Structures are given as C-alpha cells and as structure tokens.
Amino acid sequence: AAKRVGGAGFALFEDGMVVDAALQLTLQSDLRGALDRGQFELYYQPKIDARKNVVTGVEALVRWNHPTRGVVGPQEFIPTAERSGLIVRLGRWVLDEACRQIADWQSQGRDLNVAVNLSVIQLADASLLDDVRESLARHNVPASRLLCEVTESLLLENTQATARTLVGLRALGVHLSVDDFGTGYSNLTQLKDLPARQLKIDRTFIQELETRSEARAVVASVIQLAHALHLTVVAEGVETAGQRDLLKAMGCDELQGYFYARPMQAAMMQSWSIDAPLALSRTLIAPPLAT
Ligand code: C2E
Ligand code: MG
Ligand code: MG
Ligand code: MG
C-alpha cells in the first residue's frame, strides 16, 4: 500500500521502517533537484542466451550520482519517488534515456535490446503510452527494441487501467516481461492472460538452487510452465558456475547476474566481453557497490 501515491500517512512506516517524515520530505526535494540537475544515470546489465552464450539484451537500472554520497542505488530512492509521485517524471526520463542509448548503440552498429523497469504508478499513469511513443519516435527507435519489466506483485494489483496500459504497450510493439516471478502469488490464469513474452525468476530461488532441492523443483516447474505459455525464461541473480549449469540443464533460456556482469555504465559495455565475464566484471567494470 505504501506504493500508492496519496496513500495514508501510515504507509511511511511500512516494512517496520521508522522513517522520519521530515527526512522523507528532504529526500523528495533532493530527488526533484537531482532530476533538474541531471544526476541520474542508467547502468546496464546484460542478459545472456544460455545456449548460444551471446548477449540478448541489457536491463537498464537507474543510479543517482549524488554529489556527496556517491552512487546511490534505486532501492534507496524509488520507494520515495513512488510515494511522492516523482516516479512519473523519473520514469519518463528513464524511458527516454534508454531510447537515446538504444539509438546511440545502433549508430555504433550494435543492435541491443534494452529493458526498463516500470513502476505500478507509471502503469496507472494515463500519459505512459504517449511518453513511450514519443521517446521511441524522438530517437527513431523501433518499439521491438524496448522491453518493459513489471514485477509480478504489481500485476496482482492488475486493475483495468493497468491491464489496458499493458495491452497498449504491446500494441505499440513494446515487449513485456514479468519481473521477480515467484515473489507474488499470481495464479496461472493471470499469467496466461498477460501479453508478456518473458518471465524472470526471482533471485531468491536462484540463490538456493545448489543447496535446496525444493528450489530446484520450483525453478524446473516454473520453466516448464513458462514454456507451455510460450514465454522465455530469464534467471536473475546468477552468481556461480554451478547455478549456471543447473539452469542450462533445466532449459532456462537466458541468464543474468554477477557471474556474467554487474550493472555497468553504457560506455563500459564496449570493453565488456562475455568470454571473460568474471575477471572483467569483478575488476574493470564493477561500479561502486551501492549500499
Ligand atoms: P530488478 O529489476 O529485479 O533488478 C535486479 C536487481 O538485482 C538490480 O539491483 C541488480 O543490480 C541486482 N542484481 C543483478 N544481478 C545480481 C546478482 O547476481 N546478485 C545480486 N545480489 N544482485 C544482483 P538494483 O540495480 O539495485 O535495482 C533494484 C530494483 O530497483 C530493481 O530490481 C527494480 O525493481 C528497481 N529499479 C531499478 N531501476 C529502476 C527504474 O529505472 N525504474 C523503476 N521503477 N524501478 C527500478
Ligand atoms: Mg528488472
Ligand atoms: Mg528482477
Ligand atoms: Mg528484483
């Protein structure tokens, strides 16, 4: 409920977090200033085709280049941006910047698909479809290069407005991905009715893959289910060769995680090579870890 704009004041205290209202207000105005001053940056994390061992695309993950705190990760400001409604402006910037980057890579001869994460608040915003259409047109990017990731738990709040937006995005030619799958409680009917092409299994299942047979059973059946529904499956948070091997054996289509690369600045994508994933991602291209 804390995710809804205009929610009750108690939402500030969700998750057992005691957040000072004054601090929230400071953060809100800091975020607004950061947008005005262009302090946000998109980092990109590759998704790798499990069979062909090639990059299928990248996921854009927003960072805040804070003048004194350094690189700040999204978990520290997205919730506040959502509560204050600023996520609509921030999300608009993310979409446009992602399209600009697609065009930039395209001009260098790299055809990369880019995924952006959408907040439920953006999905409920009437201007989203126009925003997406305008950004694609402004940068002359085909809609099929863009993929929108929407978390499974948000899809549970699948109101008519949200459903319409998802269908509208798909009608534009944008692809849809169900993020963090396994953390919500969506039923198979909901999944079947979504105009999605991709399903991302949440990292918590991948983490337990090597140690718990239950996790292996869940992941194996999610992959089967997704394939039956003609969805491709991405495993998120792949950190070890063991996890990679298990996922490959289970028929997982794409792999993403620190094992291959951490999210990196756009310019670093040039020097990153899939053949030397560990060494490179751990040293050269590792951004400062946002805490
Ligand atoms: P997400 O979309 O599920 O993204 C995956 C998160 O897991 C990212 O964290 C990524 O850096 C991290 N990750 C990737 N591989 C590994 C791994 O092997 N191990 C571990 N421990 N972590 C891994 P990040 O960048 O901090 O983003 C967190 C969440 O913030 C994202 O989760 C997404 O829900 C949200 N987010 C990020 N960028 C945006 C944005 O532009 N708009 C919106 N609305 N949300 C965003
Ligand atoms: Mg995501
Ligand atoms: Mg995810
Ligand atoms: Mg996640």
pLDDT in tens, 232-268: 999 999 999 999 999 999 999 999 999 999 999 999 9
pLDDT in tens, 275-284: 654 444 444 4
Best residue among 117, 120, 199, 255 to mutate for probing ligand 1, ranked by most atoms within 8 Å of CB: 117
What is the pTM assigned to this prediction?
A: 0.89
Burial 260-286 (b: 16+ CB within 10 A, else e): bbbbbebebbeebeeeebeebbeeebe
Say which amino acid occupies 288: P
Q: What pLDDT band is residue 78 in, cutting at 50, 70 and 90? A: very high
- Establish whether residue 117 lines the binding site of ligand 1, counting it when its CB lies within 6 angstroms of any ligand atom: yes
Q: How many A from CA of 28 to the centre of ligand 1? A: 21
ipTM: 0.98
Kindly give, in sequence order, each residue whose CB lies less than 8 Å from that of residue 176, ignoring residues fewer than 6 positions away.
147, 148, 150, 166, 169, 170, 194, 195, 196, 197, 198
pLDDT in tens, 132-179: 999 999 999 999 999 999 998 777 776 788 888 999 999 999 999 999
Inter-residue contact 174 to 99 (CB < 8 Å): no
- Establish whether residue 177 lines the binding site of ligand 1, counting it when its CB lies within 6 angstroms of any ligand atom: no
Indicate the Cα dihedral angle 278, 279, 285, 286, nearest 10°. Answer: 70
Q: What pLDDT band is residue 4 in, cutting at 50, 70 and 90? A: very low
